[in-house]
Chain A
Amino acid sequence: MSTEQQVEIQNLTLVQAVRDGLRGEMQRDEDVVVLGEDVGQNGGVFRATEGLYEEFGDDRVIDTPLAEAGIVGTAVGMAAYGMRPVPEIQFSGFMYPGFDQIVSHAARFRTRSRGRFTVPMVLRAPYGGGIRAPEHHSESKEAFYTHEAGLQVVVPSTPYDAKGLLAASIRDPDPVVFLEPKLIYRAFREEVPDDDYTVDLGEAAVRREGEDVSLFTWGAMTRPSLDAAEAVAEEGIDVEVVDLRTLSPMDVETIVESFKRTGRAVVVHEAPKTGGLAGEITATIQEEALYHQEAPIARVTGFDVPYPLYALEDYYMPEHARIEDAIRDTHDA
């Protein structure tokens, strides 16, 4: 063994890291195939599969007919047979024709067959708002999937995590809904090792340590949350920012541990408030750490209205001013 390990590093955006992760897993395991709409020669509408068609051919990077039930349903069949399909749904807003296959089958094959059949499938989809897109291209519906036992739900917020979480998801024996925050697909670069590596599912990351208020968030909301934390730091409020990364199974331990120290929490997500995961997180804190609580828990979320066309979307998305206000209110309560 050499004393000095050479690790090749590339500076990648989040979407490039997704592609790098797919490429690494496809090189590692011949059973990994990518299928979906425009994923082949076009390289995906966000270029998440760019170059894969040229490298792996049309048996492994497959342009399908325009049919999400077909994409997810055939991927379930492939996975049950033993392959590791990575279907792409072009936008999470177009998941619904395939929803039946996701909740009725992908989530249930293992239980239904007492373990005889599993579904090692990773269903990738860009999600979230803020890109000035037409209707159905901006929603955040992670709660649909976390509500379904039998599915794991992952949302990366950095290029490094995107590659490592994707690799871990593909190697996992059970289905993963992998939601990619498209607002930050190209927002910043990060050093990502060339070699393959995994980031474990089910583990949150503390992005900023703090003692006064715990802020729980994920995906594209991580950056504005960190910005808000820096802004209030100047006023002497020390915020801990926890990026959940995996929404199901949720890292309850990290959430509760952080809350027990601060006694105050803000939860930030793009999804509408009602039925959103902030409610679940709040209830979990009540169950596990009520007697540590110093102030009402604040939720900074999208509104309970259909996601607006883009002229109004800046009012819909939580931004750091709203997050800052919630932190101050929680801190001062």
Chain B
Amino acid sequence: MSTLQRDPRDRVQVLDDDGRVVDGAEVPDLDDDDLVEMYRSMRLARHFDERAVSLQRQGRMGTYPPLSGQEGAQIGSAAALGESDWMVPSYREHGAAYVRGLELHETLRYWMGDERGNSLEDLRIFPVAVPIASQIPHATGAAWAADLRGNDDEAFVCYFGDGATSEGDFHEGLNFAGVFDTPTVFFCNNNQWAISVPRERQTASETLSQKAHAYGFEGVQVDGMDPLAVYKVTREALQKAKNPAAADEASGRATRPTLIEAVQYRFGAHTTADDPSVYRDEEEVERWKAKDPIPRLENYLPSTPRRRSSGPSPRRCSSTSTGTCPGGWPSSGSTSSGFGTATATRSY
């Protein structure tokens, strides 16, 4: 049975809080180089984040939204995208965008108040969207357009927060995705807080993932601080988006879209303009820090099945002089189409 077809409360996990493989969990099919690269990207994202906050403190940068704590969700999900897939970010996806080829200095440039940091030359990344949830219908529309054009090796991952699920745009974006069965993966970074407003104040639903059922497609909850579990569900959701026939097809239901709720925590402030001590306890932060995705993956690394890389492909998508994206994170034995064929030239 697909990992995506389960009770939304049944949270997908591969690594426990200490980085040990949980009983019965299937470790995704990644070779050692991929795993190390995933780890390296997470460390880099954390380091970048600390430097950016420090630049803001020194008055060298404007308001900046930190990502610490969310590296597992960002790197794990972005690593699952194939070369022809697209990402539609909110404003906190610095790590995910890096994996998809956006250089960190461009991200800095943008947050230093210069539009040129958001030019995204040759990358399959939509621009930063600050108005909450407003990018969700774009992801549905772009995926719909890809479908209408017959580009069936392209799927779209759209990032947004727990707070975003309260906006009308969330409803409309997911509803259209269901009705038109678009190849869209809705990736909700449930980091427990929308600035000072806790997750419980956004909805009386027990989970966010169960909202997918109302739109006629699958919703799955994943441990968002477990990069391997995140990789696994995102990978499956992308494959389903591109090969819906492989999914268990119940008539009258949308089979391409998926809503992923990645349960996680933001360790730092909402932005550098925010003071979280006004609304949350340090104790709560400490509790979640025990799930820190970085030591978790670090602890796991010595116990990998020691699979060697299948090819010399660079692990990170980048915009090269030829404008091509030389490969995402190939998963050996994957049925997904499109690796090494299409270019990542911007087509809009």
Contacts and interface: CB of A to CB of B under 8 A. Distances in A.
Interface string A153-176: 000000000000000000000000
B263 to A, nearest CB: 18
Interface string A223-254: 00000000000000000000000000000000
Interface string A121-141: 000000000001111110000
Contact of A42 (B128, B164, B278): B278
Contacts of B164: 66
A136 B127 CA distance: 14
Interface in B58-115: 62-63, 91, 110-115
Contacts of B197: 37-38, 63-66
Interface stretch (A8-16, A144-152, A307-315, A318-326): A307-315
A48 B164 CA distance: 23
A69 interface: yes
A37 B115 contact: no
B248 interface: no
Nearest to B64: A134
Contacts of B201: 63-65
Contact of A97 (B62, B113, B167, B203): B167
A94 interface: yes
Given A38-B195, A133-B63, A66 B130 contact: no
Interface in B138-160: none
Contacts of B196: 38, 40-42, 63
Given A41-B279, A63-B196, A308-B115, A69 B202 contact: no
A93 B129 CA distance: 13
B166 A67 contact: yes
Contacts of B113: 132, 309-313
Contacts of A69: 167-168
Contact of A43 (B130, B169, B273, B278): B278
A205 interface: no
A70 to B, nearest CB: 7
Contacts of A136: 130-131
A236 B115 CA distance: 43
Closest 8 CB pairs of A and B: A42-B196, A310-B113, A65-B166, A311-B113, A66-B163, A309-B113, A67-B166, A132-B62
A313 B115 CA distance: 12
Given A132-B113, A134-B62, A135-B128, A45 B195 contact: yes
Contacts of A93: 131
A96 interface: yes
A74 to B, nearest CB: 12
Contacts of B132: 66, 94
B268 to A, nearest CB: 16
Given A66-B197, A132-B63, 10 more contacts: A37-B197, A38-B195, A41-B196, A42-B279, A65-B163, A65-B197, A66-B132, A97-B167, A133-B63, A136-B131
Contacts of B202: 65-66
Contacts of A65: 163, 166, 197, 201-203
Chain B interface bracket (under 10, 10 to 19, 20 to 34, 35 or more): 20 to 34
Contacts of B120: none
Interface string B260-295: 000000000000011000110000000000000000
A70 B165 CA distance: 13
Interface string A177-215: 000000000000000000000000000000000000000
A16 B266 CA distance: 30
Instruction: Decide if the interface of chain B is mainly helix, strand, loop or mixed.
Output: loop
Nearest to A50: B278
Given A65-B201, A132-B62, A135-B130, A42 B115 contact: no
B194 interface: yes
B201 to A, nearest CB: 6
Nearest to A98: B168
Contacts of B62: 132-134, 310
B63 A97 contact: no
Nearest to A43: B278
A41 B278 contact: yes
Nearest to A306: B115
B115 A309 contact: yes
Nearest to A308: B115
Contact of B114 (A42, A66, A309): A309
B34 to A, nearest CB: 34
Given A45-B273, A96-B131, A37 B195 contact: yes
B112 A311 contact: yes
Contacts of A133: 62-63
A277 to B, nearest CB: 24
6 contacts: A42-B278, A67-B168, A97-B167, A310-B62, A311-B114, A313-B113
Contact of B91 (A43, A66, A134, A308): A134
A66 B194 contact: yes
Contacts of B274: 45
A64 B132 CA distance: 14
Given A37-B194, A308-B115, A309-B114, A134 B166 contact: no
Contacts of A134: 62-63, 91, 111, 130
A102 to B, nearest CB: 14
Interface string A65-103: 111111000000000000000000000011011000000
Nearest to B110: A309
Interface string B162-189: 0110111100000000000000000000
Contact of B167 (A43, A45, A66, A132): A66
Nearest to B197: A63
Contacts of A68: 167
A66 B166 contact: yes
Contacts of A66: 132-133, 163-164, 166-167, 194, 197, 202
